[in-house]
């Protein structure tokens, strides 16, 4: 049994949930926007209007079905959180001459290459730059995480010089260089 899948999902007061049984489509509407989620047919969904919660149950038993059950529960909970309060990732740029700026719908990174790196910002995300901190916000946890990973991969933090792009909560341990013999 999935420990995560068994837990009911609380529907917040500001969030409206609609379920289309024909297409297995969940629609979440909140103060930040609207998200849709296609429910896997392995899971059976019940919305309790009185308790304001969603309960999921697997249609079959087995290890792979329990894994999908827990995953679906987490994805639905993320949708509810996203339309209510949203998600944010912060990245820190460290290095002499390293900088970032937003121009229109592009994020321009100068991170030690001979040319600037231009990244298209997805339309559902908001990206702001404050000196060396890049802040990525949006209602979809997957979209925010994917774009943050795309920015970070442009120049990962070097463990020897500690230059590069890293998450704000990431801890990079400095390695010592060559030792004289």
* pLDDT given at position 127: 97
CA-to-CA separations, 52 to 14, 35, 47, 48, 80, in angstroms, rounded: 11, 18, 8, 6, 12
Rounded CA separation 60/97 (Å): 57
Kindly tell me the burial class for residue 176, based on how many C-beta atoms sit within 10 Å of its own C-beta (0-12, 13-18, 19 or more): exposed
Q: How many CA atoms lie within 13 A of 137 on its CB side?
A: 11
> What are the pLDDT digits (tens) for 34-86?
999 999 999 999 998 888 999 999 988 888 888 999 999 999 999 999 999 99
Task: Identify the band that residue 22 occupies on the pLDDT scale cut at 50, 70 and 90.
Answer: confident
Q: Which fold would CATH assign to domain 87-167?
A: Outer Surface Protein A; domain 3 (3.90.930)
* pLDDT given at position 160: 93
Q: Domain ranges in the chain?
A: 3-84, 87-167
> What are the pLDDT digits (tens) for 150-177?
999 999 999 999 999 999 999 999 998 8
> What are the pLDDT digits (tens) for 79-136?
999 999 999 999 999 999 999 999 999 999 999 999 999 999 999 999 999 989 999 9
Mean pLDDT of 142-148: 96
Superfamily of domain 3-84: Ribosomal protein L6 (3.90.930.12)
* pLDDT given at position 181: 59
Task: Identify the band that residue 23 occupies on the pLDDT scale cut at 50, 70 and 90.
Answer: confident
* pLDDT given at position 180: 67
Fold agreement (3-84, 87-167): yes
> What are the pLDDT digits (tens) for 27-39?
999 999 999 999 9
* pLDDT given at position 5: 86
* pLDDT given at position 17: 92
């Amino acid at each position: 049994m999935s420990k995560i899948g068994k837990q009911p999902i609380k529907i917040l007061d500001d969030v409206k949930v609609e379920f289309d049984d024909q297409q297995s489509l969940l629609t979440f509407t909140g103060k930040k926007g609207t998200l849709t989620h296609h429910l896997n047919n392995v899971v059976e969904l019940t919305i309790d209007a009185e308790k304001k919660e969603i309960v999921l149950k697997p249609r079959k038993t087995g290890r792979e079905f329990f894994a999908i059950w827990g995953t679906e529960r987490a994805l639905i909970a993320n949708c509810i959180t996203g339309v209510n309060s949203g998600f944010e990732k912060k990245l820190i740029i460290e290095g002499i001459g390293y900088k970032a700026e937003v121009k229109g719908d592009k994020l321009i990174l100068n991170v030690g290459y001979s040319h600037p790196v231009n990244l298209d910002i997805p339309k559902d995300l908001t990206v702001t730059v404050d000196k060396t901190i890049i802040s990525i916000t949006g209602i979809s946890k997957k979209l925010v995480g994917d774009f943050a990973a795309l920015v970070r991969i442009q120049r990962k933090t070097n463990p020897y010089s500690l230059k590069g792009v890293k998450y704000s909560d990431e801890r990079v341990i400095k390695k010592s260089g060559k030792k004289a013999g």
